[in-house]
Structure 1
Amino acid sequence: MQELHANQGRFQSSLEDMISSLSHQAQGVVGAADPEQTDASGPPSREGPTAETRFPIHEPRGIQIERYDGNPGTCRSFLTNCLLLFELNPSCYVTERARVASVITHLTGRAREWATAEWTKQSPVCQSYADFSSALTRVFDHGTPGRKSSRALLSLRQGKTRVLDYAIEFRTLAAESRWNNHALADVFHHGLADNIKDQLAPLDLPEDLDSLVDLAVRLDNRLMERSKERSSNVVRPPAQGEHHPEVTASRGGAPVHALSVEPMQVGHTPLSPGERQRRFKEGSCFYCGQPGHILAHCPAKDRAHQ
């Protein structure tokens, strides 16, 4: 086991040296072919340019690739990240073997062990990135993304989430399916929540997915805004023990508390302010002056209005 780890360490170092050497050679070719490196207005210098001037070294730039350990669920995303790295650094990965070597340096675990065996025996799959990526997919990714995504699309539902979140998940799965635009639009509509479908029912629905998604998102946003408006217009009930006297408008427009307003009394003259204050303190009725009840439950008033 120790010997195996030592071999892997030497193999890792060998690959890194190879990538560095290939990068330097590629930059040298680019620098030699650059017309700006040559001054046509004067004779060439007797002292040749230094290696640093003629062969500038540019470190690879771009994304940080997470090492792949052979997990089938992340194989395709790992290879996509490798392609992005090559696209962002074309001068660093000129040859096919340089690309394969770079991929192997980003492997770990059982994926690294498989690639080490293939590279050591000079397998034909290591001669080009296309062959190597196909072999890597064949060994570690046994799924069929198109079928898996299609089944997931059929079972996907909006539920209680927003339409925008549902649309993002739907489009992610749709990118891996082989369905046409009309079929995707129908399945997207089928998975919408009932309240959104009710709003779409009287409308002429667009036939393409993008237009249908935009329409559903706008409707969902408006429904959310309307719900917030309704909740802000709800009057909060008074807390227990909290008393808010009724306020009415007088003929002059000024608000008057209900306690200061004396109802119309047939056959009775309005009470003076002093009398009203006395009856209020004694708990007497404002209508008949008897204690034990209030104006709203006065029997004399009820008999007078019969």
Structure 2
Amino acid sequence: MWVRKLNQTMTEPSSQSDPAEPPHNTSLDHALIARHDSMLNALVDQQRSTNQRLEQLSDILTALHQRIVPADPPPVAAPPASFQTGVSAAPERAPPASARLREVSPPMPEPYTGEIDRCRGFLLQCSLVFSSSPQSFQTDGAKISFVVGNLRGRALKWAEARSAQHNLFHRTYDSFVLEFTQTFGYSESPADISRSLLSIKQGNRSVADFAIDFRTLAAASTWNAGALTGAFLQALNEDLKDELALRDEPGSLEELVALAIRIDNRIRDRARAKKEPSFAPRRTDFNPIPANQTGEEPMQIGRTRLPPEERQRRLRSGACLYCGQVGHYVANCPSLLKARAPRGSTPKPTAKLSD
């Protein structure tokens, strides 16, 4: 009996809905689906916009990186094996000169100890380091720290005392340089430079050495080219001025300096050549006087020359040029033979000239 009831329950059609289940609202489902679609579309658009911005930022970073770090040259492809057989490989091409120049960095400045004449040169070397590595010195504090790190001696003592009074690194670099130059870098006024140009002299220096000091003063002055040319000429030594007076007047200061250097070098070369010892053999007397000779002689050949008038008189009268007597010549002069003969010997008699 219970089986028959169960079969009826199982075979009963299920097309009838449960009265407890609420009926489906089709319009509400379509609205939810449409809302979800619109939200997904908005998210896709937002993601696309974000991706575009990321690509732009990536391009900007790549461009900045290429400006800071030079790009490596592309590697040279190796030739095929068939081509390498019996043929030497071509040398790799060197990177362009511009790429090599970018890698050169200025040397570190020499430590500054407080010399007045080195102050501005030291700051100039520091500025070269700043220009070569701008990414390392982006703040004024980094620049001031670099300068202070290269101070020694009394310059470092000044920085130490200045840092104890105020914070030395929380200020602009220009104000630091101004105070630094006021302390160590005395700058000459235009009047001081003019007095130096008027008083400078060549002295014992060469013109090439003197021109360096003159050009240094000229670069710091406000004089025109004509005034500088006159001042340079006035500062030269007198002998060099005499040589320049014989030449055509140069057209500019640089031409005058170059001409003066050439003339000065030639004058110095001639002076050195005159001072060098001569190795030529000395001329000896044709008839030297013996060392054992005593007394004075009427004439010493090779040591004392006859006056021109006396020589002409003896030649006209036929007298001996040695003793001045008539009747013989120098070759048979008894006085000369006696002087040349060894001590204790008797000179040979000489033949007198017949009248």
Deviation sequence 1:215-272 (CA, Å, 0-9, x none): 101111222334455556967674xxxx83559xxxxxxxxxx9xxxxxxx9xxxxxx
Letter in 2 for 1:84: L
Task: Sort the Cα spacing of 1:226 and 1:34 in 2 relative to 1 into closer, same or farther, 3 A.
Answer: closer
Structure with higher RCO (Cα < 8 A, 6+ apart): 1
Does structure 1 residue 216 correspond to structure 2 residue 260?
yes
Distance 2:273 2:131 in 1: 50
Give the distance between the partners of 1:203 and 1:170, measured in 2 at CA.
22
Residue of structure 2 in register with 1:49 after alignment: none
Residues 62, 287 of structure 1: alpha-carbon distance in 2 compared, 3 angstrom cutoff = same
CA contact (8 A) 2:144 2:169 kept: no
Query: CA 1:244–1:101 in structure 2 vs 1: closer, same or farther (change >3 Å)?
Result: same
Question: Counterpart in 2 of 1:13?
Answer: none
How far does residue 177 in structure 1 lie from its aligned partner after superposition?
A: 2.1
Give deviations 1:23-68, integer Å, cap 9, x for gaps.
xxxxxx747976959xxxxxxxxxxxxxxxxxxxxx9943232333
Unmatched tracts of structure 1, length 5 or more: 1-28, 38-58, 248-257, 259-265, 267-284
TM-superposed CA distance for 1:212, in Å, is 0.7
Residues 117-160 of structure 1 show CA distances to partners (whole Å, capped at 9, x for unaligned) of 4762665xx22x32321221123334426444333222211112
**TM-score when scaled to structure 2?**
0.48
Q: Does 1:101 align with 2:141?
A: no
Matches within 5 A, 1:137-148: 137-144=181-188, 146-148=190-192
Query: Given the alignment of the two structures, is residue 287 of structure 1 paired with residue 332 of structure 2, yes or no?
Result: yes
Contact 1:68 1:78 in 2 (8 A): yes
Q: Pick the aligned partner of 2:116 from 43, 61, 72.
A: 72
Q: Aligned-pair distance for 1:83?
A: 1.4
Distance 1:115 1:305 in 2: 114
CA distance change for structure 1 residues 115 and 204 in 2, over 3 Å: closer, same or farther?
farther
Q: Distance in 2 between matches of 1:156 and 1:237?
A: 47
The 2-side partners of 1:187 and 1:174 are apart by 10
Among residues 113, 116, 119, which one is paired with 2:160 in the alignment? 113
Could you tell me how far apart the structure 2 residues matched to 1:78 and 1:161 are? 28
- TM-score normalised per structure 1: 0.55
1:199 matched to 2:243? The reply is yes
Over the aligned positions, Cα root-mean-square deviation in angstroms equals: 4.2
- Contact 1:69–1:107 (Cα < 8 Å) also in 2: yes
| Count of residue pairs brought into register by the alignment | 211
Larger radius of gyration: 2
Deviation at 1:211, TM superposition (A): 1.0
Q: Compared with structure 1, are the counterparts of its residues 229 and 75 closer, same or farther at alpha carbon in structure 2 (3 Å cutoff)?
A: closer
Judged with a 3 Å threshold, the aligned counterparts in structure 2 of structure 1 residues 143 and 293 are, in CA distance, closer, same or farther, namely same
User: Using the alignment, how far apart are the partners of 2:138 and 2:112 within structure 1?
Assistant: 23
The more displaced of 137-146 and 204-213 is 137-146
Q: Does 1:92 align with 2:132?
A: no
CA contact (8 A) 1:185 1:208 kept: yes
Work out the CA distance in 2 between the residues paired with 1:79 and 1:188: 30
Name the aligned partner's letter for residue 157 of structure 2.
Answer: R
Residues 96 and 191 of structure 1, relative CA distance in 2, 3 Å threshold: same
Give, in whole Å, the separation in 2 of the partners of 1:162 and 1:185. 18
| Counterpart position of 1:4 | none
| Counterparts of 1:81 and 1:305, CA distance in 2 | 100
For residues 164 and 30 of structure 1, do their structure 2 counterparts lie closer, same or farther at Cα, with a shift above 3 Å needed? same
